[in-house]
Amino acid sequence: MRYGMIIDTSRCFGCQTCVISCKLNNEIPGDIHWNQVESLDGDVIYQATGIFPNVRLAFRPTLCNHCETPLCAASCPTGAMAKDKETGIVLVDYVICIGCGGCVEGCPYSIPVLDEISNSLVVSKCTFCKLRIENDKAPYCVDSCPGLARFFGDLDDPTSDVSKLIAKGSAEQWMPEKETNPSVYYLV
C-alpha cells in the first residue's frame, strides 16, 4: 500500500480552506503551515497574469509529497524522518528528532519546517492525517476542499480513484527531475 493524492489545479480557486483546515484540525502552532497554496502565474498570489481576454489565475496547493525515495529522510542523521513501510507516509518521530534541519535542507520541495514543540526544536510536516486514515477518513484538506480538487487513496490499488486518474495520463508529479517519485500528483 502507498497512499497518495491527486490535486486538480483547474478546480483549485485558491480559497485556502485546505491550509486553514489542516492548521486548525492538526493544531499546528504559530506561523507554521503544513499545507500552502502558491500561484502558478507569477510571483504574486491572487494577481492574474496576461492581457484580457487571455488572462490566467491558477494555483498549486503544496504539502509533503510523501516521496517513494524521500530525500528528507536520507538527510536525517538520527532516523527521525522515516517512511512508514505499510503506508508509504513519511513521518517524523519527535522523540528522536534533534531539530538539526538536515531534512529541511534535503527536501527539494521545501516542505519540512522547524517547529518548537514543548520547548524543543523539532521538524514538523504533513502526515496525510495519519490518524484519520487509520479511521477510514480522508485527510482534512481533502474533506474540506469546496472545489473538490483533491483525491486521496492507495496508489498501489488500480481500482482507487487516484490510480484511475493517474492511468488517464494527465497527472504529473512536481519536480520529477529530483527522482523522489512523489505520492502527490497534479492535474494541470
Q: For residues 18 and 22, what is the distance between their CA atoms, to the nearest angstrom?
A: 6
Quick one: 27 exposed, middle or buried, by C-beta within 10 A (0-12, 13-18, 19+)? Answer: exposed
When pLDDT is averaged across residues 53-73 and rounded to a whole number, the result is 93
Tens-place pLDDT, residues 4-51: 999 999 999 999 999 999 999 999 988 899 999 998 887 778 888 888
Does 119 score more than 90 pLDDT?
Answer: no
Does 153 score more than 70 pLDDT?
Answer: yes
When pLDDT is averaged across residues 157-175 and rounded to a whole number, the result is 94
When pLDDT is averaged across residues 140-168 and rounded to a whole number, the result is 96
The residue length of the chain stands at: 188
Which pLDDT value is given to residue 78?
A: 97
Share of the chain above pLDDT 90, in %: 80
User: pLDDT class for 118, splitting at 50, 70, 90?
Assistant: low
Does 58 score more than 90 pLDDT?
Answer: no
Q: How many CA atoms lie within 13 A of 81 on its CB side?
A: 31
Which pLDDT value is given to residue 134?
A: 95
Sign of CA dihedral 110, 116, 117, 120: positive
Q: Which has more pLDDT, 146 or 31?
A: 146
Q: At residue 130, what is the residue type?
A: K
Number of structural domains in the chain: 1
Q: Nearest Cα to 174, choosing from 163, 164, 188, 184?
A: 184
CA angle 71, 73, 78 (to 5 degrees): 140
Which pLDDT value is given to residue 115?
A: 81
All three cell numbers of 77, joined, read 542523521
Q: Strands, DSSP E only, in 77-146?
A: 81-83, 90-92, 113-117, 120-124
All three cell numbers of 78, joined, read 538520527
What letter does residue 178 receive in the DSSP assignment? G
Domain that holds residue 56: 3-187
Backbone conformation region of residue 101, classed left if phi is above 0, alpha if psi is from -120 to 50, else beta: left
When pLDDT is averaged across residues 109-133 and rounded to a whole number, the result is 88
Q: For residues 82 and 186, what is the distance between their CA atoms, to the nearest angstrom?
A: 24
Q: In this structure, what CATH number is given to the domain that contains residue 134?
A: 3.30.70.20
With a CB cutoff of 8 Å and minimum separation 6, the contacts of 120 are 99
